[in-house]
């Protein structure tokens, strides 16, 4: 019964977390946004004391149920392990904990958090790894399915669905997600919870606390016949059936061992210190599973790739006739972080690169960085859209505080960058025609068109930017007709300011 309840709750959290990264309408977050907030590492980085205290208390009561129920990456491992179990039953075996490796990676995580190296934190963070996998690999398929339904509905004059643009935001992050998924799938398929109990720093942290949990799986020696069936079904490899011991630092309270024991010798109950004082002299069944493959994961960290260029995407057509050349990303000296992130330092120290903010951006402005200095962190670029003053979605969904929640009034006054004019690309000077697109579309009136010949109002006009009023929204850069580079682009602020 306990196992069934655990599986139902785990599926609720897993499906809910996946929908957060798949949804592009903004509806799901209104109902399920709390799932992102109750993840352990995001709560720690956001200094959400209430959630951290709740998860710590839950662990001290019931052990690592967070890993088997709340953490979507943990549930994903169970799904892959299930496929492996279909190919061979009773395939696991006990193996000693790799404590040196576990605590080394935990130390790396702590140092990275202290030093503000968000890229390292993002690679090791389980929730962020899950988010990258779902957003990079699942979201395009989800959107493709939506577009098929939208075409079908349009033919029947229905507006129940609408088409959305599908494009790859970063090749480097996509490759990272693919490698993470492959490594995770192989480890889980072959050995169950290897990643969870040997690599994940969150699992190591909660494992230290779960040693003292009040309720836990307990072996009753009076009923145990040392058949070893529990150990051969433990995907955490934490049951030593020969010694009748359970490593509670690795046990995720999945209840699989309880369901497999024919003698009802294992029960999830209040801990009893004297439960193991006498061990019956029964010859245990020989373990048939070779555990040498558990150490194959040591090459995991090799997937931290180098930087790659962000792919600007598909062509658009003007009036159905002339193909408009794609815009290219300008060479910005300083990248642009989203409104609410306050500064590059703040986002570097708190962002884990989960891609939740990227997935909800309706204007295709945010994309994960492919540069090593801020790898996987959200950066703004305006080839496909601009940061509309009426949109605050990214600040509403960030679970770590890397992007803090802001209202519309604050959004219109935060300067994330400043527009810069490039004389060589400006249409009035290159083609001898009037333009003024940047002035007409600037939401804060920071651009004015001035005469190229002072005192001659009949001469062609060029833009002049008031950098004190500009908020760096990118409307001017996005709507500039110059190709492939805009004649006006936004240079980011390392620290945001109020205008």
Q: Which two tokens stand for residue 298?
A: 């040591």
CB atoms under 10 Å from CB of 96, counted, come to 11
State residue 372's pLDDT score.
Answer: 83
Give dist(CA 118, CA 353) in Å, integer.
8
End-to-end CA distance of the chain: 59
Beta-sheet strands, E only, within 111-237: 215-219
Give dist(CA 363, CA 389) in Å, integer.
11
Q: Cβ distance 331 to 420 under 8 Å?
A: no
Give dist(CA 467, CA 456) in Å, integer.
25
pLDDT in tens, 170-211: 899 999 999 999 999 999 988 889 999 999 999 999 999 999
Does residue 339 have a pLDDT over 90? yes
pLDDT in tens, 422-437: 999 999 999 999 999 9
State residue 323's pLDDT score.
Answer: 57
Pairing state between β 461-465 and 266-270: unpaired
pLDDT in tens, 38-88: 999 999 999 999 999 999 999 999 999 999 999 999 999 999 988 876 667
pLDDT in tens, 376-400: 999 999 999 999 999 999 999 999 9
State residue 158's pLDDT score.
Answer: 84
């Amino acid at each position: 019964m306990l196992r069934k309840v655990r599986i139902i709750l785990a599926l609720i959290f897993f499906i809910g977390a996946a929908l957060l990264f798949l949804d592009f309408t903004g509806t799901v977050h209104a109902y399920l946004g709390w799932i992102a907030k109750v993840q352990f590492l995001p709560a720690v980085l956001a200094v959400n004391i209430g959630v951290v205290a709740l998860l710590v208390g839950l662990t001290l009561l019931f052990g690592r149920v967070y890993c088997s129920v709340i953490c979507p990456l943990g549930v994903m491992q169970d799904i892959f392990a299930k496929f492996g179990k279909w190919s061979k039953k009773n395939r696991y075996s006990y193996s000693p904990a790799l404590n040196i490796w576990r605590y080394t990676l935990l130390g790396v995580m702590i140092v990275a958090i202290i030093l503000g190296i968000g890229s390292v934190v993002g690679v090791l963070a389980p929730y962020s790894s899950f988010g990258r996998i779902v957003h990079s690999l699942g979201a395009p398929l989800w959107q493709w399915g939506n577009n098929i339904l939208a075409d079908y509905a349009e033919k029947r004059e229905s507006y129940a669905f609408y088409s959305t643009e599908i494009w790859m935001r970063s090749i480097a992050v996509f490759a990272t997600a693919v490698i993470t998924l492959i490594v995770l799938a192989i480890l889980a398929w072959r050995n169950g919870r290897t990643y969870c109990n040997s690599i994940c720093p969150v699992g190591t942290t909660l494992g230290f606390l779960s040693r003292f949990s009040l309720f836990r799986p307990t072996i009753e020696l009076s009923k145990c016949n040392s058949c070893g069936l529990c150990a051969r079904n433990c995907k955490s490899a934490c049951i030593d059936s020969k010694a009748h011991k359970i490593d509670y630092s690795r046990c995720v309270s999945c209840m699989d061992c309880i369901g497999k024991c024919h003698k009802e010798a294992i029960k999830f109950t209040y801990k009893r210190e004297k439960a193991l004082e006498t061990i019956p002299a029964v010859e245990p069944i020989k373990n048939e599973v070779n555990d040498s493959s558990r150490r194959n994961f040591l090459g995991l960290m090799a997937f931290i790739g180098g930087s790659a260029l962000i792919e600007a995407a598909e062509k658009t057509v003007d009036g159905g006739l002339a193909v408009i050349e794609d815009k290219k990303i300008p060479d910005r000296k300083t990248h642009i972080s989203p409104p609410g992130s306050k500064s590059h330092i703040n986002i570097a120290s708190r962002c884990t690169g989960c891609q939740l903010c990227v997935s909800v951006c309706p204007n295709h402005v945010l994309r994960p960085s492919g540069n090593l200095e801020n790898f996987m962190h959200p950066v703004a670029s305006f080839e496909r859209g601009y940061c509309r003053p009426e949109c605050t979605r990214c600040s509403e969904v960030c679970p770590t505080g890397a992007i803090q929640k802001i209202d519309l009034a604050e959004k219109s006054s935060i300067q994330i960058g400043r527009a810069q004019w490039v004389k060589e690309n400006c249409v009035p000077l290159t083609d001898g025609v009037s333009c003024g697109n940047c002035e007409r579309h600037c939401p804060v009136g920071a651009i004015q068109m001035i005469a190229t010949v002072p005192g001659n109002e009949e001469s062609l006009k060029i833009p002049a930017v008031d950098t004190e009023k500009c908020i760096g929204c990118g409307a001017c850069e996005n709507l500039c007709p110059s190709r492939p580079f805009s004649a006006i682009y936004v240079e980011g602020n390392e620290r945001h300011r109020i205008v």
